[in-house]
Amino acid sequence: MYSIMQRKYLFMAIYHFSIQPNKNGQFGLNFKGGAEQKLKPIITQIAPNSPASICDPQLQEGDEIVYINGRKAEQLSHEQICCLIRSIGQSATNKTLTLSVRPFGSIENHEIKNSEMKNSPNHGISSQLLTSMAQIKQGLENGDLLAFYVDMPKKKLELSTEIAHFPENKTKNRYRDILPYDFNRVVISGENDYINASHVQTDIGYSGMVNEYLAAQGPLSDTCGDFWQMIWDQEVSLVVMLTTTMENGKTKCHRYWPECGEHFEIGNFEVSPISSRDYSPAYIHRELTVTDLETDEERTIQHLQYTAWPDHGVPEDSRRFLTFVNEVRRYRSASSAPVVIHCSAGVGRTGVFITVETACCLIEAGVAVYPEQMLDTLRDQRPSLIQTPGQFKFTCETILDIYQDHFLKTQSMNGR
């Protein structure tokens, strides 16, 4: 079993190219590597005056091929890559070769860019960040981003979910097709250590920061004790809820917290309300006390519930949603513990929130944002994160809004 720390990711610079073949159906590039060789595919040669030689920005020898028309290149053998590129060039319908590549020496290049930023006319806005925003805008306009989303597998088939299928655990899953991977599932104390929740981490580029989440389904009536056990075990002080308890006449989450005047005894804990403030119609902020009934130890929990987000849909007001995200970030900054985040299944709205908060941090750090790679990285940690094309589109549009706000703030700080 892999530990979550063995599955950390770095959002490196990724560039995207759309290349048309010559009259012979050729693109003019060679590469080495493939899955069977345990080598990432690397461009080794670009023919002069070929379609591949006239890309802007320019392809270089040593660039790593990450995606080929939406397919993850490192999962393909050398021969499969050759056949895929050849079939695209000879296609009777769509001959466009769409390459996503990681530039050779991208980390070193980023460090050089950072040293140059101080003298840049866009002080505080890196060129890679600018480029990534332009690519998101173009990808939304031409449909490439949604096409990528549709082609992206919802679950990594090579990752096991066997423990969630154990007979004693089946009834603990709200939805039978939304299950945590075994390698990074959250393990709780007690006779049965299973809960439908996953450790999820996002790296904030080159800053060394990591956002840690416990992405969970909304508790069932008989898993509320497990939910509070997870909060206690992981020393959580902030819970983010992105659903209401009932939607369209269906139960989406059991109410696992007490309202004013109530006291809950749930499993090994007593949960009591301290305060509740309704920021209608967007979200509610609750402060709760949880007490271990065996030791009498008390802890304070901040509970932020966003209420203006329909299941399988998107927030009704993106600006109001960003206000909520920033409120969560404010409370997160007070603790190094992971944040519990859940909706009903713990994948759709949960995935959008994680991606948007991560994008906020990346943009503030001046690091390029690539939604495709972020989605792939998230689904390596929990299946189906960002559940619908509409949610992915909203995520990309919101990233552009975050960048616009950051750009205006940076210009204002520079006296423009």
pLDDT of residue 109: 38
DSSP label of 220: P
Which CATH architecture describes the domain 9-104?
A: Roll (2.30)
pLDDT > 70 in the chain, percent: 88
CATH topology of domain 163-415: Protein-Tyrosine Phosphatase; Chain A (3.90.190)
Residue pLDDT, tens place only, 364-375 = 988 889 999 899
Residue pLDDT, tens place only, 228-264 = 999 999 999 999 999 999 998 899 999 999 988 888 9
Residue pLDDT, tens place only, 210-229 = 899 999 999 999 999 999 99
| Cα 139 to Cα 131: distance, rounded to the nearest angstrom | 12
| Cα 123 to Cα 264: distance, rounded to the nearest angstrom | 53
Binning pLDDT at 50, 70 and 90, where does residue 60 land? confident
DSSP label of 66: E
Q: Rounded to 10 degrees, what is the CA torsion of 123, 129, 131, 137? A: -120
Indicate whether this model's pTM tops 0.95.
Answer: no
Residue pLDDT, tens place only, 96-105 = 898 888 887 5
**CA-to-CA separations, 358 to 165, 395, 410, in angstroms, rounded:** 31, 11, 19
**CA-to-CA separations, 288 to 152, 228, 327, in angstroms, rounded:** 39, 12, 17
Q: Where are the domains of the chain?
A: 9-104, 163-415
> Which of 388, 397, 376 lies closest to 152 in space, CA to CA?
376
Residue pLDDT, tens place only, 298-338 = 999 999 999 988 877 888 888 899 999 999 999 998 788 99
For 131, counting Cβ atoms within 10 Å of its Cβ (0-12 exposed, 13-18 middle, 19+ buried), the class is middle
Active-site residue flag, 253: no
Q: How many residues does the chain have?
A: 416
E strand segments, 52-118: 64-68, 71-72, 97-102
pLDDT at position 171 over 90: yes
DSSP label of 109: H
Average pLDDT (19-34) is: 91
Q: For residue 318, give every residue at least 6 positions away whose Cβ sits within 8 Å of its Cβ, in sequence order, or none.
A: 394, 397, 398, 401
Q: Which of 55, 224, 260, 343 is catalytic?
A: 343
pLDDT at position 359 over 80: yes
